[in-house]
Amino acid sequence: MNDYEVRRAQEKAKDAEVKAKLLKVAEILKQSVVPDKDDEARADCAVETDVLYLRFSAGYGNHRINISGRYPRFADGGYVGDVWYTTEEREARKAQGIADENYGKVSQPRITVAPEKTAEQIAKDIQRRLLPDVLDYLRRVQERIDSTNDYESATSKSLETLKGSQLTDYEKRERKFSGYAKKNCEGVRYEVKASRKEVDVELHSLTVEQAEQVLAVVLKKGKRGD
C-alpha cells in the first residue's frame, strides 16, 4: 500500500473504534439507535439515537467527537429551522445579564469530547453538559411543529368549507384553490387563499356588470368601508 492507502486504513480503523464506543454510549444512556442506511457510503462514522447525533471522523482534521441534538421534522420532511425564546424568557435573560447575541434565537446545543475518553465518561459529559439543553430545544421544536400542524389543519378546514369538497394535496400544500365560475358568472376565474382567520378572494376577467354585482354585495354586507 502507498502512504495514502496506509493513512486511510488507519483512519477507518480509528473511525470503527470510536463508533463502537459511541454505540456503547447510546446503550449507557438507554437511547435507541437509528439504523444508518448510508453507512457504507459515509466518509465518517456517525451514530443517531432518539435525540442525539454523535459524529466523528479521523480523516477530517477535527479529532474530536461532535455531539448535538437530533430533532423531528415537519410532516413533509422539511427541517423546522430556528426556534426562539418567548418575550418573557428574553426579559428574564436580560435581567440575569445574559447577552442577547442572537436576537432571541435559541442556539442549538452541542458539545465536543475527546475520542480518548471512555464510553462511560462520554455518557456523563452528555448527561451533564448537553442532554438538559437538548431536551429543552426538543420541546421548543415540537411546540413549533404542533403550532404549524394546528395552523395547517385550521387553514385546510376553512378552504374545504369554502370549496364545498375535499382539497387536493396540491391545494393543501399551497393553501388555496382556484377554478372557473359557471352559470351566471361563466368565464370568471377565481382564486381563494386562506389562513386560520382570514380569506383572500381574487376574481379575474369580470365584465363591468359582474364587477358591479360583486361590489354591490361587498358594500352592502361587508364591514369595511361602512
User: What local confidence, expressed as pLDDT, does residue 219 receive?
Assistant: 84
The residue among 225, 156, 168 whose CA lies nearest residue 194 is 156
Give the model confidence (pLDDT) of 31-69 as tens digits: 999 886 655 445 568 899 999 999 987 766 668 999 999
User: What local confidence, expressed as pLDDT, does residue 41 receive?
Assistant: 45
Query: Grid cell 421534522 — which residue?
Result: 73
User: What local confidence, expressed as pLDDT, does residue 218 receive?
Assistant: 82
Ordered alpha helix ranges (H), the chain: 3-28, 87-95, 119-125, 131-163, 169-174, 208-221
pTM comes to 0.76
DSSP string, 47-99: EEESSEEEEE-TTSS--SEEEEE-----TTS------B--HHHHHHHHHTT--
Where are the domains positioned within the chain? 3-151, 175-221
Q: What's the distance, Cα to Cα, between the start and end of the chain in Å?
A: 86
Residue 49 CB neighbours (<10 A): 19
Give the model confidence (pLDDT) of 147-206 as tens digits: 988 888 889 998 999 999 999 999 988 899 999 987 767 788 999 998 767 899 999 998
Spatial contact of 189 and 204, defined as CB atoms under 8 Å apart: yes
Cα–Cα distance for residue pair 63/52, rounded to 1 Å: 19
Residue 46 is placed in which grid cell?
456517525
